[in-house]
A and B are shown apart, each in its own frame.
Chain A
Amino acid sequence: MSKLGTIANSLRILRHVFRRIFKRPFTYFYPWEDRYYPELTRGRHIHVRENCTACSQCVRACPVVAIRIDKEDKKYEKDAALYFDYSRCLFCGLCVQACNFDALFHTPIVDLSADSQEKLIYGPDRITKIEREPLEWRGRKIR
């Protein structure tokens, strides 16, 4: 009888649901545990000013014009200062691919939220280093 089949199917569904309760959940306790980010993860950029030659290929490659270059601001002989606007950045990786001088890389830092747009524009002081401000939440250190 199809009715018995229906009851058997319902019991099978209930069994699947019941068994799931006792398995380990899939989620983890972000931000105190974090998952593994692969090498190629396209997170925030880092600009290595020793190698930069101010060729501005990264600016030309960006599809949303998220990079601004200031060629007057030199720290080493031929470099330039880059301003990354993360409110426009797509994390597409075309700028990193365009750089021929190993001056621009992605980092696995992906938690970039800020509370105003000015804080999302990373100037040369922030885009050249990975260290970030320490963050504490409810008495526990996150970084």
Chain B
Amino acid sequence: MQFEDFINWLNGIPGWLYDVLVWWFNAIWWWINLLWDSIVIIWASMFGNAEVLAYWFKAIVFPGLVFILLGIIFTVWATRKTWGRIQGRRGPYNLGKYGGLQLFADAIKLIGKESIIPKGAKRWMYRFLPSFLLVIVLLPFVFIPWDTDWVIVDLSVSLVLIFAFLTAIPVISLLAGWISGSKYTIIGGFRAANNQFASEIPLVLSTVGPAMLAGSLSVLSIAQVQADSFWFIFLLPLNFVTFLISAVMSVGMVPFDAPVADSEILFGWRTEFSGIWFVMTYFAEFAEMLFYSAMMVTLFFGGFSGPAFLPGIVIFLIKLMIVMFFFIIVTSSFYRLRQDQIVSFSWKYLLPLTILNILIVMFGMAYFGLYIGG
């Protein structure tokens, strides 16, 4: 009898540990809520409007501007360290522990450099376009659901609007290549436009599968639907692969980086930008990479859904880091394809696979009643 009670007690320990974690999480969250509520009360007593504070906080500090910029810096750091480890070296290690401050040092150094505008370049567009590019790349981040209520804007058609923003990016690249006034940059700009021609359709069509399964075009509801049932990666693995490949193609990273091929056209449409404009185009590339990783987490890996003792945002970040890791591995394994090979690969292999995905989803929904969304 005593031995049985002992076994029962042992069986109860994991549950007890789980409850302890949940208790701690709730306790910390209670304190943070207390702090937040007191700020809201102070704000409301001063300005009389409490929702605006929440909105401004979300837009600027927490999943907003500061968070995204720190996220981009983290992305660049993680990418450089991982590329270093893949290549048998360490990434930056001098500044800051594990080289974390290297990005800040690079940015400060580059901003302090003399900004040279070539003679054949259109001066005001040259100054305007990199900042415009960075703004357009940062805009789709407002739709990403970092947690159930930590999304800045939740529209019912946010998926469509995201791609509306992202379609503008290669157009800006083409324009940037043209106004830089050099033959190499024009070639790079045209290749960027060609990349869009190759990558946009598989990219957009790859998101149709999860949208159909979830029954809505809002990114937040796609993530929420996965919180209640399976993650879509288990139902649509092929869709994830095509989205990953077309995302790499859309960003313009190796192996699809013919627009910025640095052995043929000397960094393509980014060649002539120096100093602070280089910082902006460089960060725009990694911001796009961060954004596509966040999209992959939202669409296929369930976003913020996971164990209950962790806040949704932490789960999202863990999944984001894993997806970014795979992104980085894919971008450093294959040789660069020629531009016409990118187009032919995308139209001959990627697009039929994407359409196959949609057909599979439609088939599953029609004949097996596989309807997850509400």
Contact = CB atoms under 8 A, between A and B. Distances in A.
Chains A and B come from one and the same complex: yes
B333 A20 contact: no
B149 to A, nearest CB: 36
Interface string B70-105: 000000000000101111111001000000000000
Contacts of A16: 333
Contacts of A29: 93
B330 interface: yes
Interface residues of B, number: 14
A17 B332 contact: yes
A21 B334 contact: no
A116 interface: no
Given A21-B82, A29-B93, A14 B329 contact: yes
B85 A10 contact: no
Contact of B86 (A10, A17, A26, A27): A17
Chain A interface mostly: helix
Contacts, number: 33
A18 B333 CA distance: 9
Contacts of B332: 17
A25 interface: yes
A13 B333 contact: yes
B90 A10 contact: no
A25 B89 contact: yes
B329 A18 contact: yes
Interface of B: 82, 84-90, 93, 329-330, 332-334
18 contacts: A10-B334, A13-B333, A13-B334, A14-B329, A14-B333, A17-B86, A17-B329, A17-B333, A20-B86, A21-B86, A25-B84, A25-B85, A25-B89, A26-B89, A27-B88, A27-B89, A27-B90, A29-B93
